[in-house]
A and B are shown apart, each in its own frame.
Chain A
Amino acid sequence: MPLDTAMPIVDEEIAGADREYLYTLNFGPQHPATHTTLRLILTLEGETIVKAVPDIGFLHSGFEKLGEDLDFNQYVTVVDRMNYISPFANECAWFDAVEKLMGIEPTPRCKYLRTILSELARISDHLLCIGAVGLDLGALTAFLYAFNQREKVYDIMESASGQRFHPSYCRVGGMMSDITDDVVQKVRDFVKTFPKAHADLTRLLNRNRIFVDRTKGIGVLTKEEAINMSCSGPIARASGVTRDLRKDEPYLAYPELQGSFKVICAKGGDCYNRYLVRMAEMAESLNIIAAAVENLPGGSVNVDLNDKLTIPDKQATYRSIEGLIQHFELFMWNRRWETPVEEIYAANETANGELGFYLVADGSGKAFRARTRPPSFIHFAAFPHLMEGHQISDVPAILGSLNIIAAELDR
């Protein structure tokens, strides 16, 4: 892409012969510290950043347009690829919107299962964020410790759904299949072993002189700014906002698990506080998982087959006429679900913040409009403000602490 996309603003803002010595540096889109395809145009005075202009859209792949073409169950594969480091949480948010639109109440077992897996996804997301910040700031060991635990989360996802990275495990009104006892055992093992890894990670980073020096006081976001810039999730909570949708608008099994977790907040609003909030949130997530897996209800993961909402299993499809009819009813392009001609917004608290879907339905089994409220996009908009006045070596610290996922940013 030619460089002139962002040039006009830079010129207008800092015109004048007295500032001609300012140096423009193109950071990305292929830069190891940006992790994904992000491009920043930095205007430098020596090593100090006068202005940062993000140029995004390199990974824009029309997810929302696809959402208008694929049906509710098909779109889950695309939703998975938005925030691809905690894909299961995206699935939960998407089906939360779909089920709220259609007025479906998932079964208790389904709710608990989704809660456990989305909390595992949150841990995996926070681990990547912390590991990557450590990596960029010179603490390679922390990265390896974090990724070791992420493997375990992937193993659980694989046992549950058959796919490690993009599970595509949820369906309208339930799940693709029930889990086996093996998964429950793996989750229990994870609950047992993770605290040690968490403690190791804490010891590696919390008082690591280099890490603390490079994150403390860097990229400060005040509470008022966080609210004004629509920030949510750990980034807003590190600035003192107390909102957590799991507490404030409980969904899935969270109403019953209220006693097992606390909302983590900090006041500093800098990169170090964001790191601390994420670390403490992982411990809270583990409490939720421990409580949920021990209280996992029995019964079916899908809503009643007679509601004509869920895909029947293969046994029912091949051995009964009702199952066969329902299977085709849900797969033929002109049948599928009946939806109200209405629209709904539903949001979940994912690892990065409030992930919402604004779903407009026109009565067919496809979304008329599937708007995503992507937390990364909104947080990245605050980046130029956070960056002003800092050194160029603070770019990886701030970028990492915002946990920008380009696939979710550009969709």
Chain B
Amino acid sequence: MPDYLSSLNAKFSGAFTTSEFRDNKRVLISAEKAAEVLFPLLKCLKEECGFDMLAELGGIDYLNYPNATDRFCVVYGLTNMTTGQRVFVKAFANDPDPELPSVYDLWRGADWMEREVYDMYGVKFTGHPDLRRILMPHEFAAFPLRKDYPLRGYGERHNFETVTRADS
């Protein structure tokens, strides 16, 4: 058992499950517990287990995925810069109001990555100082990487607001 798991077990016993595939080690937090467990768990990983870098933060929409129970998932890929060890923390969230605590206070690198997940999936990060759309235009109404959003969109491109030279 990796040593970070024993520290997590001591503090958050029962709040998470683990899984593994090839060299990826994962810690899974269910949608019910994510709101209160996620932030302290990541804080524990950062401050007590040495995972000082947030290497990756991305969203997944598990709509119609085989055997999926929760819809949205945010993956936090942490790296221990001293040992090179990696761990992936997966926190789930559900409709109608997917929400997770922001980790901006732990890693400033989470700033734009959380904004991207919000932009693409509509997962709100509570406590983020500046949660705006980052890639899509601010008047865009949908969340394009959700699985129920069609590949070619809803025709937003054709209805785009045109700014003429006269009123610019």
Interface residue ranges, A against B (CB under 8 Å): 1-2, 5, 9, 56-57, 60, 62, 64-66, 68-69, 100, 103, 225, 227-232, 241, 243, 248-249, 340-345, 347, 354, 356, 358, 360, 362-363, 368-369, 371, 373, 377-378, 380-382, 385, 410-411
Please state if B67 and A341 are interface contacts (CB–CB under 8 Å). Answer: yes
Inter-chain contact A232/B22, CB cutoff 8 Å: no
- Chain A residues within an 8 Å CB radius of B66: 341, 362-363
Comparing B2-10, B91-99, B106-114, the segment that makes contact with chain A is: B106-114
Q: Tell me the minimal C-beta distance from B79 to chain A in angstroms.
A: 8
Question: Quick one: given A65-B151, A356-B55, are A228 and B60 in contact (CB under 8 Å)?
Answer: no
- A-B pairs, top 8 by smallest CB distance, nearest first, are A230-B109, A381-B112, A371-B58, A57-B135, A60-B135, A229-B109, A248-B84, A373-B56
Question: Are the CB atoms of A345 and B56 closer together than 8 Å?
Answer: yes
Does B134 touch A at the CB level, under 8 Å? Answer: yes
- Report how far A231 CA is from B67 CA in the complex, Å: 35
Q: What is the chain B residue whose CB lies nearest that of A5?
A: B138
Give the residue of B53, B56, B111, B134 whose beta carbon is less than 8 angstroms from that of A356: B56
The distance from the CB of B50 to the nearest CB of chain A, in whole angstroms, is: 11
- Residue pairs across A and B with Cβ atoms less than 8 A apart, 19 shown, are A5-B132, A57-B137, A65-B145, A68-B151, A227-B53, A227-B81, A228-B52, A228-B53, A228-B109, A230-B107, A230-B109, A230-B110, A243-B79, A243-B84, A345-B24, A345-B86, A371-B58, A378-B109, A378-B113
Cβ of B144 within 8 Å of any chain A Cβ, yes or no, is yes
User: Of A65, A66, A103, A377, which one neighbours B116 at CB under 8 angstroms?
Assistant: A377
B interface, how many residues as a size bin? 35 or more
Beyond contacts A57-B135, A343-B24, A358-B58: 19 other A-B pairs, Cβ-Cβ < 8 A, are A1-B137, A2-B163, A5-B137, A5-B138, A57-B134, A62-B144, A68-B151, A103-B22, A227-B81, A230-B107, A248-B84, A343-B60, A345-B56, A345-B75, A354-B55, A356-B56, A358-B56, A378-B113, A411-B135
Which residues from chain A contact B75 at a C-beta distance below 8 Å? Answer: 345, 358, 371
Task: Give Cα A263–Cα B13 distance, bound, in whole angstroms.
Answer: 40
Q: How far is the CB of A348 from chain B (nearest CB, A)?
A: 13
